[in-house]
Amino acid sequence: MLIFCFQAFSVFSQHATVSGRITDSQNRPLELVTIAISGQPGGTTTSADGRYSLQIPASRPVKIVITLLGYETDSLLLNLAPGIKETKDRTLKQKAVVLNSLVIEDRQLRSTNLNRINPRVVSALPSAGSGVESLIKTMPGVVSNNELSSQYSVRGGNYDENLIYVNDIEIYKPFLVHASQQEGLSFLNSDLVSSILFSAGGFDAKYGDRLSSTLDIRYKHPRAFAASATGSLLGTNVHVEGASDDTRFTYLVGARYKTIQYLLNSMETKGSYKPVFLDLQSLLSYNLNEHLELSLLTYLSSNTFTVIPESRETNFGTLFEPLRLTMFFDGRESDKYKSMMSAITLTDKPNKNLQVKWITSAYRSIEQESYDIQAQYWINLLSNKASEGDSIEVIEAKGYGEYITHARNKLDMTVMNMENRYSWVHERSFMQWGVKYQKEIFHDKLKEWYMVDSAQYILPYNPGVPGDSGNQASLYLKSSTKSSADLNSNRYTAFVQNTWDLDGDSTRLAFTIGARLHYWDFNKQLLFSPRATLSYKPNWKKDIMFRLSSGMYYQPPFYRELHTASDTTIRNVKAQESIHFVLGSDWNFTAWHRPFKFVSEVYYKILRNLDPYEVDNVRIQYMGANNSKGYAVGIDMKVNGEFVKGVESWASLSVMRTREDILDDSVMRYYNAAGKLIRKGITTDNVAVDSSVYYPGYFPRPTDQLVTFGMFFQDYLPSNPSYKMNVGIFFGTGLPTGAPGTQLYTHTVRMSPYRRVDIGLAKQIIGPDALHPHSGFFKNFKNLWFTFEILNLLQVSNTVSYNWVRDFNGNQYSVPNYLTPRQINIRLSAEL
């Protein structure tokens, strides 16, 4: 501790500060401009209003390089005295588009598997869901078949396998949520974001222990006052930011209100919906001196969801056997998810080469689910001969049944941690290392059951004397969970990695190697994760870079993996393993005299010690045993650039296959005298004369999706750029599914493909391309936008899950649960 304190308050060298504003030739602020000291990694980027601030060494010449894709590179040569604060505003000229002079952005980032995403695009993307996550869903390798959810899977993984960081602090999500409409607001507030980095695999050792991906978010560091407000039919966002006159103190505050009642009222299940989602976040920072900065990140969230369902009517089946499910409900559901977090970060920059961070954070989540819902349903066969405009006639009743669902689930979760991180620059190497201690406390009490009575096949009625219970069948629950657990454990992690940057004659070679250690005292497992990335830019006429990444990635058990295990096996649940092999290329090129980038990655993942699971909507149900192995293989491609001059668009295409093999699964198969496999309800001769043991082998994982496509496209009227159009397009082939309670290898039936198009038509009322009021109420407005959105433009009925019901003969039907139909949203956004 004495050494830490000595480092924190020692002064190794003097610094000066250069700050200012970067604009284009029309005096419009430029965001995400990279400002860095020549020859050194790191640097900073401009905020939404084009402002920046950078500490530089004093009393010696320093060259500052300013770069932005599509603009000419600018530079400054400064020699400032210690403590001086110099203001330098710069205007960047749009680059004359010649291939050989294409600006290369962020060399350090390009040599990694991280992709930078422009956070300003979030506000332009039409979507029914959350901001940042909706943007991530358009990235290659990312899959999400649910516009109401912020969850996503990456390269064959599930929703739990993705890391999310905000300012180096790991972010958690509620665990008891079982349907997307209950999720509410995610942690990430797009109004507060300044930088988004995303990796779909092969990421560095400095990131934590998950199998699939990492999302690295940086919140803004304001240099001047700014504010924004957005209101729509789906909610309201407000944010304010600013700094003191000497910029030593900065503040960033955001509040959000979201309601999806408007969307839920359009779905097939009719009833009284009351979703109310609120959150408040703030980031306060203060420069104690020219080397030390103290920051406080706070978060408070309340997501409540109440529904009193009334009825539902769904048409399904085939052209030759059209069916209708009619349901009536009694009861209600009431869910509450409250989360809070606080994190203190002390950052010390004792000299130009060293940065030290101390991070202490605490996160708490209190979750409650309560529902008692009784449903009666009818399955009817419809006439397929009705003419257009005629009502559809019911010609036969095929089934009737009832079911009751009940739950009283509670979870109180607390995660506290302390972390120390270092970064050190020396000539052509950049080293990072750190240690972390984490305390986890879980208290849960789960009571949940599901009872079905379908046409007397579960609860047969035995005639007898009224009140004579001896004649009645005993109660049978189709599924039941009753458990309580108290878990108090400690985790210890450490990492180290180094990057060597070797430049030759017009070539560049970068090599990153690192490793992680992880120990959890609950299951006594020690994990070692080596990881490495090699990037090479050859001396070619084309600006292309190649990357090769590999490493071991572990996912130690957390709450969701443990709560399904029994008391006797819970400590035997171990970390799941994945070995990544990723080969990629990054090509900057010019088309139509405009800049473009094409990125592709081919990957193969060896999966070991997997914990098999089922997915229902957004709930993941693990089996609680590491008894499976598997693989994932695929290719991801993305092209982005100025398809329309001056605005960025992109398209992503992924092809993927993932399989697993449960090592100890087998089933007895019985054959009749004719040698045919006996299938109840299908074969007539069900007398077994022979049998054999069947081993299923490899079968599709729940996230196996062969082809996915995502696109974000922007356009505007050339004669009047204040009129814009934004389009989001999503496509994914069907996921495997199967009846609940059956073996996973039988889940080979494919859901219908996910297809969705969202379009937004926007008009800039105030801004660079519109009016410039110099007096009155609107004189301080930088931008004012009105947007008209059509969500699910093509009116596609996308399936999120299935409701499984039986008819009078015991035949089981999968009735699709559809997502939102076509809806209209209007939005008004203002920036000060």
Domain CATH code at residue 86: 2.60.40.1120
State the alpha helices, DSSP H only, in 293-427. none
Amino acid letter, 375: A
* pLDDT at position 634: 97
Beta strands in 203-321 (DSSP E): 213-219, 226-232, 235-243, 249-258, 269-287, 292-317
Most confident of 78-87, 377-386, 504-513: 78-87
DSSP β-bridge partners for residue 329? 375
Counting residues of the chain whose pLDDT is more than 70, the rounded percentage is 90
Q: Is the dihedral of CA 579, 581, 587, 592 positive or negative?
A: negative
DSSP per residue over 656-697, as a string?
Answer: EEEEEEETT--EEEEE-TTSPBP-TTT-S-----EEEEE---
Give CA–CA dist 665/742, Å, rounded: 12
Q: Which of 96, 126, 147 is the last residue of a domain?
A: 96
**Pairing of the two strands 85-87 and 15-23:** parallel
Amino acid letter, 432: Q
| Cβ-Cβ contacts under 8 Å for 255 (sequence gap 6 or more) | 237, 238, 239, 278, 279, 280, 281
Q: Is the dihedral of CA 670, 672, 673, 674 positive or negative?
A: negative
Q: 63 with 138, same domain?
A: no
Query: What's the pLDDT tens digit per position in 148-160?
Result: 999 999 999 999 9
For residue 100, name the pLDDT band (cuts at 50, 70, 90): very low
For residue 198, name the pLDDT band (cuts at 50, 70, 90): very high
Segment 7-29 mean pLDDT: 68
Give residue for tokens 């980032």.
109
In a domain, 103, yes or no: no
Give CA–CA dist 333/308, Å, rounded: 7
Q: 455 with 333, same domain?
A: yes
- Range from 259-263, 296-300, 767-771 carrying the lowest mean pLDDT: 767-771
In three-state secondary structure terms, 135 is: helix
Give CA–CA dist 421/360, Å, rounded: 11
Max Cα–Cα distance, the chain, nearest Å? 102
For residue 258, name the pLDDT band (cuts at 50, 70, 90): very high
Q: Is 162 exposed, middle or buried (0-12, 13-18, 19+ CB in 10 A)?
A: buried
Which tokens in the block code for residue 371?
């529902």
* pLDDT at position 95: 60
Which tokens in the block code for residue 330?
């009694």
Element (H, E) at 655: strand 647-662
Q: 712 with 797, same domain?
A: yes
CA-closest candidate to residue 285, choices 216, 353, 192, 347: 347
Q: Which of 96, 131, 153 is the last residue of a domain?
A: 96
Query: What's the pLDDT tens digit per position in 144-189?
Result: 999 999 999 999 999 999 999 999 999 999 999 988 899 989 999 9
* pLDDT at position 482: 85
> Contact at 8 Å (CB) between 698 and 628?
no
- Taking only Cα atoms into account, the Rg of the chain, rounded to an integer number of angstroms, comes to 29
248 Ramachandran zone, left/alpha/beta (phi>0; psi -120 to 50): alpha
Q: How many domains does the chain have?
A: 2
Q: State the first-to-last Cα distance of the chain, in angstroms, to the nearest integer.
A: 45
CA-closest candidate to residue 131, choices 281, 227, 235: 235
Quote the DSSP letter at residue 504: -
Rounded-to-10 torsion of CA 168, 174, 177, 183? -70
Q: 527 with 593, same domain?
A: yes
Give CA–CA dist 365/407, Å, rounded: 19
- Range from 73-87, 346-360, 582-596, 600-614 carrying the lowest mean pLDDT: 73-87
Q: Which has more confidence, 402 or 1?
A: 402
Counting residues of the chain whose pLDDT is more than 90, the rounded percentage is 56
Domain encompassing residue 76 = 2-96
Q: Around Cβ 568, how many Cβ atoms within 10 Å?
A: 7
- Ramachandran angles phi, psi of 416, nearest 5°: -125, 140
Residues in the chain: 832
In a domain, 469, yes or no: no
In three-state secondary structure terms, 625 is: coil
In a domain, 518, yes or no: yes
Q: 145 with 90, same domain?
A: no
* pLDDT at position 59: 84
CA-closest candidate to residue 117, choices 95, 133, 98, 100: 133
- Range from 57-66, 198-207, 524-533 carrying the lowest mean pLDDT: 57-66
Give CA–CA dist 191/696, Å, rounded: 49
54 Ramachandran zone, left/alpha/beta (phi>0; psi -120 to 50): beta
In a domain, 691, yes or no: no
DSSP per residue over 766-787, as a string?
Answer: ESTTSB---SSGGGG-SEEEEE
For residue 578, name the pLDDT band (cuts at 50, 70, 90): very high
Q: 241 with 281, same domain?
A: yes
Residue 474 in this model has a pLDDT that exceeds 70: no
Q: 456 with 572, same domain?
A: yes
Which tokens in the block code for residue 445?
């009490």
In a domain, 686, yes or no: no
Which tokens in the block code for residue 716?
């505007």
Segment 674-702 mean pLDDT: 85
Quote the DSSP letter at residue 168: T
In a domain, 110, yes or no: no
Residue 5 in this model has a pLDDT that exceeds 70: no
Residue 465 in this model has a pLDDT that exceeds 50: no
Give CA–CA dist 175/186, Å, rounded: 13
Residue 470 in this model has a pLDDT that exceeds 90: no
For residue 562, name the pLDDT band (cuts at 50, 70, 90): confident
What CATH number has the domain bearing residue 826? 2.40.170.20
> Contact at 8 Å (CB) between 635 and 654?
yes
* pLDDT at position 791: 95
Segment 601-609 mean pLDDT: 97
Q: 46 with 153, same domain?
A: no
Residue 598 in this model has a pLDDT that exceeds 80: yes
CA-closest candidate to residue 488, choices 521, 517, 519: 521
In a domain, 265, yes or no: yes
Give CA–CA dist 88/58, Å, rounded: 16
DSSP β-bridge partners for residue 344? 296, 360
Q: 92 with 126, same domain?
A: no
Beta strands in 289-321 (DSSP E): 292-317
- Rounded to the nearest integer, the mean pLDDT of the chain is 87
Segment 568-581 mean pLDDT: 88
Q: 390 with 460, same domain?
A: yes
Total-model pTM = 0.84
> Contact at 8 Å (CB) between 295 and 344?
yes
For residue 104, name the pLDDT band (cuts at 50, 70, 90): very low
Element (H, E) at 195: strand 193-199
Q: 207 with 355, same domain?
A: yes
> Contact at 8 Å (CB) between 380 and 371?
no
| Cβ-Cβ contacts under 8 Å for 112 (sequence gap 6 or more) | 199, 203, 204, 512, 533, 535, 547
Residue 10 in this model has a pLDDT that exceeds 50: no
Q: Which has more confidence, 661 or 291?
A: 661
Q: Which of 46, 67, 96 is the last residue of a domain?
A: 96
For residue 680, name the pLDDT band (cuts at 50, 70, 90): confident
Residue 6 in this model has a pLDDT that exceeds 60: no
Segment 69-85 mean pLDDT: 84
Q: 264 with 141, same domain?
A: yes
* pLDDT at position 103: 34
> Contact at 8 Å (CB) between 145 and 168?
no
Beta strands in 41-183 (DSSP E): 44-45, 51-57, 62-67, 74-78, 85-87, 90-91, 115-117, 142-143, 153-154, 162-166, 169-170
Residue 452 in this model has a pLDDT that exceeds 90: no
Residue 120 in this model has a pLDDT that exceeds 70: yes
DSSP β-bridge partners for residue 757? 729
Residue 758 in this model has a pLDDT that exceeds 90: yes
* pLDDT at position 618: 87
Query: What's the pLDDT tens digit per position in 500-531?
Result: 988 766 678 999 999 999 999 999 999 999 99
> Contact at 8 Å (CB) between 509 and 494?
no
**Pairing of the two strands 322-351 and 594-610:** unpaired
Quote the DSSP letter at residue 744: G
In a domain, 165, yes or no: yes
Which tokens in the block code for residue 510?
């970068």
- Ramachandran angles phi, psi of 521, nearest 5°: -75, -5
Give CA–CA dist 178/180, Å, rounded: 7
